[in-house]
Amino acid sequence: MRAVIMHSPGDVHVEDVPDPTIVKPTDAVIRLAASCICGSDLWPYRGVVQPNHQAMGHEYVGVVEEAGADVRTLTPGDFVVGSFMASCGECEICRSGFPSRCARRGRDGINGMQAQYARVPLADGTLVKVPGQPNAAAVRGLLAASDVLGTGWFGAVAAQAGPGKTVAVVGDGAVGLLAVLAARDLGSERVIAMSRHADRQELARYYGATDIVEERGDEGVAAIKDLTDGHGAHSVVEAVGTQESFLQAVHATRPGGHMGFVGLGHEVRIPGLELFNAQIHMLGGPAPVRNYLPDLIDRILAGSMDPGRVFDLTLPLNDAAEGYRAMDERRATKVMLTV
């Protein structure tokens, strides 16, 4: 089969590799319908971490090709969406709402989704069956649900977005934009998108942003306070992950408010006194997307949300290298690869 391999930073090729097979009886093998390139795929591309020479990709929708002997809920032919983190769905941590930290997963991860086929571990707990065979528009939305929408949704849930709340979103990448959508769909009264790019501001407004703040850092915080009687936002989603953006989010949250953070870089060091003096609730980490998939699938199939619009470049799998270049050069916000 064809798969995207990164040999060294910046060196992406689509190559023939062996087809994946069932390794454990809880595995499924899926035939990919679509995949995408993630902001985190740019870390090895830019040499921030070392490429591992495995097939890339962890965002996916596809059709079950083969199910292991212990898989109970899926059969070949089922159209499925999965989280970017494998999860058993049964351990104490999964059941408490944190499948992204499944205690039984061990080293079994999700990868190799920029390919024609892929092995999915813990298939019953990781994949969700979609009713019927979705059309092209639904496929785009479901693909977003697998990571960027699920992650933006978690950011908004972690920030306790909801009725009566003013929510600020730091970051206008795909996750930030979909956090705006999530905040609005969760019923928030006011959603402030922090963005200085006209095209992303437009998409933020399409997704329900009521206000745009272009300033960053202390000026951005001051602008949020001006919009919130001097208190700061009830809820802030941090969707960038730098030192500056993290502290901007901390300072933009009112005392007693909630901050959700969905990405943090290796170099970030948070001054303890900043956390202490802010006195805000914080929750972050890899999104427990699996929690939200059934609800998100319903919303996408019902046509009540359109997360697929974040894909501003769609390429066939064979052109993945151009997709990486476009993301790296910021010519694209989010690249979809059709298989």
Using CA atoms, how far apart are residues 133 and 151, in angstroms rounded to an integer? 24
Nearer to a copy of itself, 231 or 325 (CB): 231
Parallel, antiparallel, or unpaired: how do β-strands 335-338 and 28-37 relate? antiparallel
Q: Compute the least distance from the CB of residue 158 to a copy of itself, in Å.
A: 9
Q: Among 35, 107, 30, 106, which residue's Cα sits nearest to residue 67?
A: 30
- The C-alpha atoms of residue 195 and residue 184 are separated, in whole angstroms, by 17
Backbone Cα Rg of the chain: 19
- For a copy of itself, the binding residue among 131, 187, 256, 303 (CB under 8 A) is 256
If 0-12 CB within 10 Å is exposed, 13-18 middle and 19+ buried, where does residue 211 land?
middle
Tell me the closest approach of the beta carbon of residue 12 to a copy of itself, in angstroms: 25
For the chain, the farthest-separated pair of C-alpha atoms sits apart, in whole angstroms, at 60
Distance of alpha carbon 155 from alpha carbon 161, whole angstroms:
9
Interacting residue with a copy of itself among 45, 261, 292, 324 (CB under 8 A): 261
Binding to a copy of itself by residue 155, rule CB under 8 A? no
Q: What's the token pair of residue 2?
A: 């064809």
Contact between 228 and 204 under an 8 Å Cβ cutoff? The reply is no
Under DSSP, is residue 161 helix (H, G, I), strand (E, B) or coil? coil
* Distance in angstroms (rounded) separating the CA atoms of residues 50 and 289: 26
Which tokens in the block code for residue 292? Answer: 């939200």
Instruction: Name which position in 63, 268, 315, 321 contacts a copy of itself (CB under 8 A).
Output: 268
Q: In the stretch 75-114, what mask flags binding to a copy of itself with x, by CB under 8 A?
A: -----------------xx--xxx-xx-x-----------
Cross-strand pairs, 260: 237, 283
Of positions 270, 294, 316, 318, contacts a copy of itself by CB under 8 A = 270
263 vs 308 by CB, closer to a copy of itself: 263
CA 159 to chain CA mean position, Å: 16
Note whether 292 binds a copy of itself by CB under 8 A.
no
Taking alpha carbons only, the member of 200, 195, 198 closest to residue 220 is: 195
Phi then psi dihedrals of residue 137, to 5 deg: -65, -40
Q: Is 275 in the site for a copy of itself (CB under 8 A)?
A: yes
Tokens of 261: 């953070």
39 binds a copy of itself (CB under 8 A): no
| Under rule CB under 8 A, residue 163 binds a copy of itself | no
Question: Minimal distance in Å, beta carbon 94 to a copy of itself?
Answer: 10
Contact string 234-253 vs a copy of itself (x = CB under 8 A): -------x-x--x-------
State both tokens at 25: 């009886």
Give yes or no for residue 264 binding a copy of itself (CB under 8 A): yes
Q: Of the candidates 280, 305, 313, 317, which one interacts with a copy of itself according to CB under 8 A?
A: 280
SS3 state at 50 = coil
Q: Decide: helix, strand or coil at residue 6.
A: strand
Smallest distance from a copy of itself to CB 287, Å: 9
Q: In the bound complex, what is the minimum distance in angstroms from residue 302's beta carbon to a copy of itself? A: 29
**Is 50 an interacting residue with respect to a copy of itself (CB under 8 A)?**
no
Among 39, 44, 150, 284, binds a copy of itself (CB under 8 A): 284
Considering only residues 69, 77, 132, 273, which one is a binding residue for a copy of itself as defined by CB under 8 A?
273
The stretch near a copy of itself (CB under 8 A) out of 74-82, 177-185, 277-285, 322-330 is: 277-285
**Dihedrals φ, ψ of 325, to 5°?**
-60, -45
Chain positions contacting a copy of itself, by CB under 8 A: 92-93, 96-98, 100-101, 103, 229-231, 241, 243, 246, 254-256, 261, 263-273, 275-286
